[in-house]
């Protein structure tokens, strides 16, 4: 996911479940906000989001912010757990 505006310092990650074409027709699981993103031009840094469902049906959403070409996160990895 790339930032949409210049110098964006926060991003809201919203997680839904469902297969409907309209967001409103799906079920909101939760959301979290990434803050302290370093100011940079539009399109950098990159926000990476991954999801995992464990054997107890718990969804873990992990987000990190990285600068293109860098192996290190610009901010610490954020982890949120949601119950399905």
Instruction: Please state which of the ranges 17-21, 32-36, 76-80 shows the lowest mean pLDDT.
Output: 76-80
Contact assessment for residue 14 and residue 28, using Cβ atoms and an 8 Å cutoff: yes
Domains of the chain with bracketed CATH: 11-83 (2.60.34.10)
Contact assessment for residue 71 and residue 48, using Cβ atoms and an 8 Å cutoff: no
The tens digit of pLDDT for each residue in 20-71 reads 999 999 999 888 888 888 888 877 778 888 888 888 888 888 888 887 777 6
- Whole-model pTM? 0.69
Evaluate the CA torsion angle 73, 2, 35, 77 in order and state its sign: negative
Contacts of residue 12, defined as CB under 8 A and 6 or more positions apart, other chains included, come to 31, 32, 33, 34
């Amino acid at each position: 996911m790339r930032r949409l505006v210049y110098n964006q310092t926060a991003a809201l990650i919203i997680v839904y479940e469902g297969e409907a074409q309209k967001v409103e027709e799906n079920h909101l699981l939760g959301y979290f906000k990434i803050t302290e993103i370093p100011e940079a031009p539009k399109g950098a840094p990159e926000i990476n989001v991954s999801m995992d469902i464990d054997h107890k049906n718990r969804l873990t959403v992990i987000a990190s912010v990285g600068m293109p070409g860098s192996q290190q996160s610009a901010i610490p990895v954020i982890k949120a757990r949601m119950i399905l």
